[in-house]
Amino acid sequence: MNPADEILDIVDENDEVVGRATRGEATARGLRHRCVFIEARDAEGRVFVHRRTATKTLFPSHYDMFVGGVVGAGESYDEAALREAEEELGVSGLPRPEPLFAFLYEDGGHSWWSHVYQVRCELPVDPQKEEIDWHGFLTDEEVAERIDVWAWTPDGLEGYRRLRDVRDVRERSADSPPPGSPGAAT
């Protein structure tokens, strides 16, 4: 099936379904739909990074630190996360991706609810050739060094920044002593 013919749920600002449309129509008309972003890490903890093919409708030849895509009509975010991760990485038998947070992406006529996940992929990857023309596993430091150098997908970049902020808050919370313990603020 042509990806433009895939049927998507169209949603409102509260992520409630208000209709259905083809992917092509949703893209052309800027209709808000649902997407999943999955951060895939290898056994060493490195992030799967890839460059999209030049034939992609949105953000051709841009880099992304997430695999993922649209959520089909009637499909749950969790189902889409596993499906998209396995399809784009070219593997089967991945553990179910762990949900982290959601955000509404809106920019330049594009709008989608984005659920961000993480998954460990210890299997050899064989990414989809029609979607990915380069890939590698990079350390967090290597990704950070390339953020201002490479052309990244804008939605992926926003997801990356939000994920980094969420992890920073969690790390600070983990480093804080519990209330009432020695060293805790009173």
**Domain containing 130 — which CATH number?**
3.90.79.10
> Is the residue at 172 inside a domain?
no
24-44 pLDDT per residue, tens: 999 999 999 999 999 999 999
- Cα(first)–Cα(last) distance of the chain, in Å? 61
Q: Give percent above pLDDT 90 in the chain.
A: 83
> Is the residue at 178 inside a domain?
no
What is the Cα gyration radius of the chain?
18
98-132 pLDDT per residue, tens: 999 999 999 978 999 999 999 999 999 999 898 89
Q: Which of 18, 155, 11, 135 is nearest to 71 (CA)?
A: 11
Mean per-residue pLDDT for 148-161? 97
What is residue 174's predicted lDDT score, i.e. its pLDDT?
81
What is residue 57's predicted lDDT score, i.e. its pLDDT?
85
> Is the residue at 184 inside a domain?
no
What is residue 182's predicted lDDT score, i.e. its pLDDT?
63
Instruction: Count structural domains, the chain.
Output: 1
Q: Beta strands 132-138 and 47-52: pairing type?
A: antiparallel
Q: Beta strands 7-11 and 17-22: pairing type?
A: antiparallel
Give the helix, strand, coil percentages of the chain, each rounded to 5: 30, 35, 40
